[in-house]
Amino acid sequence: MKICISCEKDIEGKNAVPIKEDRIIRTIRSIKKMLRMAKMNELYVCESCVQKHTERRKTFEKHMLFGSVFAGVVIVIMVGAMLFTGKLDLWAFLSAFIVAGVILCLPIFKYAPAIDGSINPAQSAEPPKPKKTPKRVIKKKMR
Ligand SMILES: [Zn+2]
């Protein structure tokens, strides 16, 4: 069956875009298979959910980015502190990585898969305008 992952309805007779099969989707599938819960549905996002889904995806990407930056900062600070104090504590070292790992995993709760293409290819966003850096006019005072 082809279903929409957002409203969980059959997309029969509706416009829909397929979901990209990424590592997370494959992992969820294999877990479901192990638990014999796999329905082997083909996943889509239907027309009416596309906008909502795109927003969710953007939020997820932001969280992912923030998570990886934050995890990196945590490791740098903790390892840096250890090097600074000269005490190489294995447990502190490990906990830095555990904390970083947890931070990295948190965005999974906001997971929204990428979609393959879009429903309205004509409705493409305007090309990003190059940012104009204001030219500083150096006023030379004539004396
Ligand atoms: Zn839907």
> What separation in Å is there between the alpha carbon of 63 and the centre of ligand 1?
23
Which pLDDT score, from 0 to 100, does residue 52 have?
94
Spatial CA neighbour of 89 closest among 75, 79, 99: 79
> What separation in Å is there between the alpha carbon of 35 and the centre of ligand 1?
26
> What separation in Å is there between the alpha carbon of 45 and the centre of ligand 1?
6
Q: How far apart are CA 50 and CA 33, in angstroms?
A: 28
Which pLDDT score, from 0 to 100, does residue 87 have?
77
Mean pLDDT by 10 residues, the chain (143 residues): 92 92 89 85 92 94 94 92 83 88 90 83 49 59 60
> What separation in Å is there between the alpha carbon of 1 and the centre of ligand 1?
14
Q: Give the torsion sign (CA, 11, 12, 17, 21).
A: positive
Structure tokens at 9: 């309805």
CB within 8 A of 107, min separation 6: which ones?
60, 63, 64, 67
Which pLDDT score, from 0 to 100, does residue 44 have?
94
> What separation in Å is there between the alpha carbon of 110 and the centre of ligand 1?
17
> What separation in Å is there between the alpha carbon of 15 and the centre of ligand 1?
10
Which pLDDT score, from 0 to 100, does residue 139 have?
60
Which residues have C-beta under 5 Å from ligand 1, the single-atom ion?
Answer: 4, 6-7, 46, 49
Spatial CA neighbour of 108 closest among 69, 76, 142, 64: 64
Q: Can you give the pTM of this predicted structure?
A: 0.68
